Amino acid sequence: MNPQDPLAQLRDIQLPVTGGWWPPAPGWWLLAILTIAAVLAFAWLWRRQRRKLRWKRSAWSELQQLESKARPAPEWFAALNALLKRAARQSHPEKHPEAMTGQQWIDFLLATAPKDRIASRPVVEAMVTSTWQPRPGAQTEQALAFARTWLEAQS
């Protein structure tokens, strides 16, 4: 090494020390906050939706119980109509279906049915009138099929 040579006195380029992983950059903080907010919002909406449809799950389980005890008796048809009225009260509270009886209740069920309203009319009429007849004119299978399709359509 020549002490007179100024280039010999130069050192290599020194790279700065990296900052490490903590604390993260502001962009990572923002991303973390947005992710937490999104997860909390999703959980809140999911819980709200489940709470809102709790009545529907309850109605389905009660319909399954009625299906297992199906028999052509006025008491059974009364229980089915009561179940449909409770479900209607939850899905259409503004129309006050719990106070409806007879033809008004039949018209309501057909108006809120999703499909085959004309074909469902005899089934619904027989189902509703079977609650006070000594010998029901409705068949339990048809009444259950209508109740299932009606419950599926309610929101």
- What confidence score (pLDDT) does residue 104 get? 93
- What confidence score (pLDDT) does residue 46 get? 95
Query: pLDDT tens per residue, the chain (155 residues)?
Result: 566 888 888 888 888 888 788 888 899 999 999 999 999 999 999 999 998 888 888 998 999 999 888 888 889 999 999 999 999 998 888 989 888 888 998 999 988 888 777 777 888 889 888 888 888 888 888 899 999 999 988 87
Q: Rounded to an integer, what distance in angstroms lies between the CA atom of residue 70 and that of residue 7? A: 102
pTM over 0.75, yes/no: no
Q: Rounded to an integer, what distance in angstroms lies between the CA atom of residue 23 and that of residue 35? A: 18
Closest CA to 86 of 75, 97, 70, 73: 97
